[in-house]
Homo-oligomer: A and B are copies of this chain.
Amino acid sequence: MDEFSLINQFFRRSPDAWKSISAGIAKGIGDDCAVLGVTDQQVVVSTDTMIAGRHFPDDCPGDVVASRALAAAASDLAAMGAGPLGFTLSLSMPRLDLHWCQTFADTLHEKAIRWQIPLIGGDTVKGPLNISITVLGLVPPGQALMRNGAKPGEDIWVSGWLGNAAGGLEVALAGDKRLTTAKKMLLSCYQAPVPRFDLGRRLLGVASSAIDISDGLLADWQHIADVSDVGAEIFSSQVPISKELTEVCGGHKALNYALAGGDDYELCFTAPQDLRSIILELSSDKMPLTRIGRVKSGQELSVIDGAGKRQDFQKTGFNHFG
């Protein structure tokens, strides 16, 4: 099978498959470039790469790789408050494993349709397993949620529960055959994260800054802090931790995962205090929004426990070449 047959068999779906979600796609896969219609919007673009042995185990099934790779990339659109437009896929594979390809492609399409982000192009080559996805999205001009808008006195919020994906990775690595309900839930958070598109769009005009949590809360917050030139107090007792994570990992490790674990793809954002009630209206049982701290002037990041005592946490996150 050559690369063109491979693209045709696995990655080019009939126009009907995309019809409901491809209003802006004048031309998708099959020419030198995809062609996109854009009216009165700004285009946002981001690239995210995952490689075997680094972001997932070498023997990771195709559906898990597809799900995590697309979610990780698409989550950057959510963090800008952008709606999805489309994505390109660069797929390097060491050999043609038809079963792996099929589960990868099927899940990629399932998620793409669920998240309304059509596959519009890409490249397949033979080489060490490497999945690089470039997502494109649209935002109303001038309204994208940037990292540089946090101001002292504002609240710091997060969506969902933090640390579940790190707990799920632990479950995946342990390799138990029979899993408790709690472990299954954590595993699913790691294997099939969900970009917060709806939340991102609803935060336009509300949040003053936003980022998605891919490398861990403290590490990702620091990106906002650096470019906004601010510090923060994070109240560790207010950080949302699921009962499943506590059940599986215990309270101490659960807090560590919530503060420094990666791969949750929840949003962390800042907003003025007088918008609290508006933000709480966006909160739900399935996706709680929780105030976890306050933006401060200066550069310090303090993590404060329930007794008001400062905790010593490294601003650690996942760093390549670190």
Binding site for B on A (CB under 8 A): 1-4, 6, 26-27, 30-38, 41-51, 53-55, 76-77, 79-80, 82, 86, 88-90, 92, 96, 120-128, 130, 132, 134-137, 139, 141-142, 144, 146-148, 210-212, 227, 319-322
Complex: A31 Cα to B212 Cα, angstroms: 10
Contact between B88 and A27 (Cβ–Cβ < 8 Å)?
no
Docked-complex contact B92 and A49, CB < 8 angstroms: yes
Q: Tell me if A38 and B38 are in contact (CB < 8 A).
A: yes
- Which residues in B have their C-beta under 8 angstroms from that of A76? 32-33
Bound Cα distance A130, B80 (Å): 27
Q: How many copies does the complex hold?
A: 2
5 contacts between A and B (CB under 8 A): A27-B146, A31-B144, A45-B136, A47-B132, A48-B123
B residues within 8 A CB of A210? 32
Q: Contact between B37 and A141 (Cβ–Cβ < 8 Å)?
A: yes
Q: Decide: A96 and B321 in contact? CB cutoff 8 A.
A: yes
A122 pairs with B32, CB closer than 8 A: no
Q: Which residue of B is nearest A72, CB measured?
A: B123
Per a CB cutoff under 8 Å, which of B6, B45, B96, B128 touches A88?
Answer: B45
Assess whether B47 is in contact with A80, with CB atoms less than 8 Å apart: no
- Identify the 5 closest CB pairs spanning chains A and B, nearest first: A33-B44, A128-B128, A134-B134, A47-B88, A32-B79
Q: Are B54 and A126 in contact (CB under 8 A)?
A: yes
Residue in A1, A31, A79, A122 with the greatest tally of chain B CB atoms within 10 Å: A31
> B49 contacts A90, CB within 8 Å?
yes
CB–CB A2/B34 < 8 A: no
B31 touches A147 (CB 8 A): yes
Contacts of A37 on B, CB cut-off 8 Å? 42, 141
CA–CA, A35 and B145, complex, Å: 10
In the bound complex, how far is the Cα of B317 from the Cα of A139, in angstroms? Answer: 41
Q: Least Cβ distance of A14 to chain B in Å? A: 15
A100 smallest CB distance to B (angstroms): 13
Residues of B within 8 A of A55 (CB): 125
Closest to A322 in B: B2
Using A3-B319, A45-B33, A227-B30 as known contacts, say yes or no to A51 and B125 having CB atoms under 8 A apart.
yes
Asked if A33 and B137 make an inter-chain contact with CB atoms under 8 angstroms apart, the answer reads yes
- Assess the B319–A54 pair: CB atoms within 8 A: no
Distance in angstroms between the alpha carbons of A210 and B125 in the assembled complex: 23
Asked, given contacts A51-B125, A125-B51, A126-B54, whether A35 binds B80 with beta carbons under 8 Å apart, the answer is: yes
Docked complex Cα distance between A89 and B134 (Å): 10
Residue of B nearest to A78 (CB): B32
Q: A122's closest neighbor in chain B, by CB? A: B47
